[in-house]
Structure formats: C-alpha cells, structure tokens
Amino acid sequence: MTTILVVDDEASVRKLLRNTLERAGYRVLDADGGERALALVESEPTIDLLITDVVMPVIGGVELAARMRGLRPSLPVVFISGYTFERLGAESLGPADHFLSKPFTPR
C-alpha cells in the first residue's frame, strides 16, 4: 500500500487531504509541521510521497523536502500553498516537483 505523508500547519487542510486520500485507498500519515514530519520519517520505514505546505513556521516545505530527500533521494513531492507559484519563486522547486494551489477541493 502506498504511504503518503501530509504536512500542513492547518488542521482543516490535513483533514481534507487525509479523508480524500484514504477514501482513494492510500495509507496517510500527517504532521502539523516540519519538525513533526522529520520525526515521523525517522520512525516510518516507507513514505512514498510527501505533500507539504510551502509556508510553515520553523521548517518550511522546501526545506523539509530537501531534508527528507537527504534520507530518500527519489521521494516525490507535491507542494501546496495559498500563495501563487510565481510569488513563491519557481526556482525553489525542483523540476520533478508538483504544485497545487490552495484552496482546492477533493476532486
């Protein structure tokens, strides 16, 4: 079963993603920030996809993805944000990364 780690400091976003992804048959772990996510990575042997907010306190999504890829170099990442892709700076995201603008719906 594919395991997805969802990281967002907004509980409502985490809940929406968790419910949607679990209904689609995925195993979902979630964390309210980068520090908690890194702790999960240390204890969880398999994470197949990271979905992370870009702007979070302490450890932002771009830094989190870089640190997680230090442990799992081929980890795919979907960045989510209420800011536009252009405002975030496209150069901070890698060519294999994906971006989803908030707000979004399960569909």
How sure is the predictor about 89, in pLDDT bands with cuts at 50, 70 and 90? low
- pLDDT reading at 22 higher than 70: yes
Identify the three-state secondary structure at position 99: strand
**DSSP character at residue 85:** H
- pLDDT reading at 92 higher than 70: no
Q: Cα–Cα distances in Å, from 27 out to 42, 56, 81, 97?
A: 17, 23, 22, 21
- pLDDT reading at 85 higher than 70: no
Identify the three-state secondary structure at position 50: strand
How many residues in total does the chain contain? 107
- pLDDT reading at 102 higher than 90: no
- Per-residue pLDDT of 23-64, as tens digits, reads 999 999 999 999 999 999 888 888 999 999 988 999 999 899
Q: 18, 2, 5, 101: which is closest to 50 by C-alpha?
A: 5
What is the Cα–Cα distance from 31 to 100, expressed in whole angstroms?
A: 18
The more confident residue out of 66 and 106 is: 66
